[in-house]
Structure formats: C-alpha cells, structure tokens
Structure 1
Amino acid sequence: MRKLTLILLPFLFFGCTAQQVNDTLNTVLGGTSGLSSDQIGNGLKEALRIGAEAGANELSAPGGYFNDVAYRILLPEEVRTVTDRLQGIPGFSNLEEIILKKINQGAEDAASKAAPIFVAAIKQMTIQDALGILKGDRNAATSYLQSSTSQSLYNEFNPVIANSLDKFEAQKIWQDAANAYNNFPLTRQPVNTNLADYVTEKALEGLFTKVALKEEDIRDNISARTSELLRKVFALQDGDK
C-alpha cells in the first residue's frame, strides 16, 4: 500500500500549493519514517552534491580522463583518417598520440568548472523532484542533473575546453594537420579544423557517466552514505526493494 501511495503521489500534487505538497509528504513519508519532507529533500540534495562533486573532482584531476580507458576521449573518425595519412610525413609521425593526450588534458581542465553548476541546479530541486529521484530509476538523480544542467555545462565547458586546447596547443596541432590534409591533391572531403565541440560533448558524456556511478554507489552501498541523514533517507528506498 505504501509503495502504491508513493507511485500515486506525483499525480495528486497537480493543482496543489507548495505548502499542501509539503503537508501531504509529511503525512505519507514523515509519519512512517520519522523524516519530514524537508529532511528527505535535504538528504537527496546531499547525495546529489556528493556524487556530482566527486565525479567532477575525479575527472578534473591530472589524468582523470586520459588515464582511465572508460573515460578517455578518443579521436573522431575523420581525425584518425588524417593522422593515419600524415603518419609518414616528418613532424607528424606521432600526431595521433599527441592530440589524444592534449584533448584529454583540455577536458580535465574544463571539468573543474562542473561542480558549481551542479550545486546551483541541486539548490533548485523541489520536493516533487526529490521524491521522484528517491523512488525513481537507479540513475534518476543523474538524469535530473543532466536535464537541468546540460546546456549550462555545455556553455561553460565549450569555451574552457577551447581555451584549454589552445593552452595545450591541441588546436594548433590539429589545425596544422587538418590544413595539411585538406591541401592534399586527392582529398575529397575537407575535415573540420575545430575540435572544441567534439571534445565538449565527449567530456560531458564522461562526466555524467561518472556521476551515475556515484549515484548507484550511494543507492546500493550503505557504507557510501556518509551521514546519518543519508542513511535514513535511503533506508526509505531500501525498504521498497
């Protein structure tokens, strides 16, 4: 009965004021768990903050992307076509290795900008958001962050990555290589000399994958619930498994 009530709650909220929603949640959840809706919301926000900050910090560390094959950003197909063709030309023999290392350094540099954006989005969570996350899919918190931060993260990451690529000279290396490739007499389709968009998309993809793993850890492992509030809030989830 309790699980059915939790499923139906979001539909009962339509047309309700914020206070009415709060009172309903306090009655349904607080009465059975000893937690108020505010405590549940705060617990979810704490879990989100921990997971998001940990994910961003790990990827922004030196080698955060490059040293982990699960997150390493690989070169797009057209780039590998260019590097393969230029391999025998003096000065371009290890081009792919150089660019690969530098674009990952750029992504690591940009990832340090993610945590404040995540925290700002988490602060905007409503009670309905918190309940949906607690009783949602295993990656419900990450999905919430993805839907509410993707554009802001892209807007923040893209110029940072472009600057980072310039700082590590990846853009220049790639532009030189792409221009050399485009000037080949038999080149049919010129390649784009801008890597920033591609690296931005891949950097964000890796970031959300990392945050999702942190979320799963908190959901599955009591030892990952590092505060009493987290343990109490996620005990509600555990009780319905």
Structure 2
Amino acid sequence: MKKILLLIPFLFAGLSSCDTLNQVAQTTIQQYGNPSQLEMSNGLKQALEIGTAQSADQLSAVDGFFKNAAVKILFPPEAQKVESTLRSIGLGKLADNVILSLNRAAEDAASQAKPIFVNAIKQMTIQDVTNILLGQQDAATQYFRRTTTAQLAANFRPVIQTSLNKVGATKYYGDAAAAYNRIPLVTKINPNITDYVTQKAIDGLFVVIAREELNIRQNISARTTPLLQKVFGYYDRNKR
C-alpha cells in the first residue's frame, strides 16, 4: 500500500505533463491553425537543423566526449582486460592517456558532422517529413542513422586517424597493446584503434541527437519560433 501511495504523485505528474502539452496544442492550433505541408516540412527541417547543429557543437567542444558519461569512449571490449592488466602492474597513467586521446579524436571528428546532416535534411521528401513528425519519438534519429552513417564514417575516419596521431593516441594505444602483448600467455590484440573510435564517435553523436529530438518533442520551451510551435503543436495533437 505504501508503494502505491508513493507512486501516486508521479502518476499525476505524468498526467499533468500530458494535459499541459494537449492544452498548449489546442491553444496553438486556435492561434495559428493547422500547418500546411510546406510549413510542416520547413518546421521539421528547422528543428532538425537546430538539433543536429547543437549536437555537433556539444560533442566537438573540448571534453564533449570525455566528460559526457553517456558517450565517453573507453577501451574496446576485447581490450578491457588490457586496461585492467596495465593498471594492475602500475601502468595506470598509460591507460588514462589512451582513454583521453580516444575521446579527443572523437571530439575533433564531430566538427565534420554539420554539413552531412544539412545535406540529409535537404534531401527529405514530404513523406519523410510526415513519417518523422508523426512517427516514433526517435524517428528523426533513425532517419539520420539510415541516411548519414556511411558518409559520417567516411568523413570521420581520416580526421580521427589524424587526430589519433596528433594527440598521441596511436602511440599510446600501440604502447598499451605492445605492453600487454608482451605479457606471457595472453591472447594478442590488434593495436589498430581507428575503426573502433570512428564507430564510437558516430554512436555518441546519435545518442546526443536522440536527446535533442526528444527534447523538442516533449519540451514546449524548446520550440523557440512560431513555426516550431505551430508544427509541434500539430504533432502533440496527432501523435500516436
């Protein structure tokens, strides 16, 4: 009984949030009317340009990856025993340098993302817009995964390779792998880290984009223009 009583405020809070969105949607429709197809397209594209730009800016800043626990890049799964072994034999600083340099490389690469997303947004059809606007809460993120991942990988990889060399990650990871591989009876690991960091940088970018998408779908204050208010008011009223 006590657990049920504790849950009641949270249930009412959820209802209140839904009621607020519905009330705002009704007011927005009354004020602006239903959006045309062109307005839906322009409004969604405006929201996506803002969200992807903010995501790229956030991650390309110093510590954008390194101090964000949700996207921080650690040793590859197959090399985690390398890290624990290095730390156990007094080489913790080497392991720390590897992790920092992997994240610095991803931060350098994230700055390349904006034009790729802008191009994907320009290529959207009216059907894409409708599917995204009235689809699942991560529909835009999934669209970007389908349409940009290959180009992101192609653009990120050389930047990451250069950055890994610049900040010493290639050396640090190579040193870590070499130190580990010298330990008797261990399974040797590949000292090449570029492809792993490239994939983790792309994964981290989509984590942040998904958060931005959810924010504008659920947070009224994130709709900073009349067009966004009109289009997402329509979304609130028609969401599945």
Give the TM-score category using the shorter length.
0.7 to 0.9
Question: 1:13-28 to 2 correspondence within 5 Å?
Answer: none
CA RMSD of aligned residues (A): 1.7
2: distance between equivalents of 1:122 and 1:86?
Answer: 45
For structure 1, the residue ranges without an aligned partner over 5 or more in a row are: 1-31
Match of 1:190 among 188, 191, 207: 188
1: distance between equivalents of 2:92 and 2:220?
Answer: 51
1: distance between equivalents of 2:213 and 2:92?
Answer: 42
Structure 1 runs (4+) greater than 6 angstroms displaced: none
- CA change 1:220–1:89 in 2 (3 A) is closer
2: distance between equivalents of 1:231 and 1:101?
Answer: 41
Superposed CA deviations along residues 87-146 of structure 1, whole A, max 9, x for unmatched, are 4667x3411111111111111111010111101110000000001111000011111111
What's the counterpart of residue 215 of structure 2?
A: 217
Three-state SS of the structure 1 residue aligned to 2:66 is: coil
What's the counterpart of residue 56 of structure 1?
A: 56
Q: Is the 8 A contact 1:56 1:115 kept in 2?
A: yes
Q: Is the 8 A contact 1:80 1:96 kept in 2?
A: no
Superposed CA deviations along residues 164-185 of structure 1, whole A, max 9, x for unmatched, are 1111101111112212322334
What's the counterpart of residue 107 of structure 2?
A: 108
- CA change 1:204–1:105 in 2 (3 A) is same
Question: 1:86-235 to 2 correspondence within 5 Å?
Answer: 86-87=86-87, 92-187=91-186, 189-235=187-233
Superposed CA deviations along residues 183-227 of structure 1, whole A, max 9, x for unmatched, are 33423x210111111111111111101001101111111210111
Aligned residue identity for 2:137: R
Q: Is the 8 A contact 2:34 2:230 kept in 1?
A: no
Three-state SS of the structure 2 residue aligned to 1:94 is: helix
Would you tell me which structure has more helix in proportion to its own residues?
2
Question: 1:67-78 to 2 correspondence within 5 Å?
Answer: 67-78=67-78
Report the number of matched residues: 208
- Over the matched positions of the two proteins, sequence identity in percent amounts to 48
- What is the deviation of 1:39? 1.4
Superposed CA deviations along residues 18-73 of structure 1, whole A, max 9, x for unmatched, are xxxxxxxxxxxxxx944321111111111111111111110111001111111211
TM-score by length of 1: 0.81
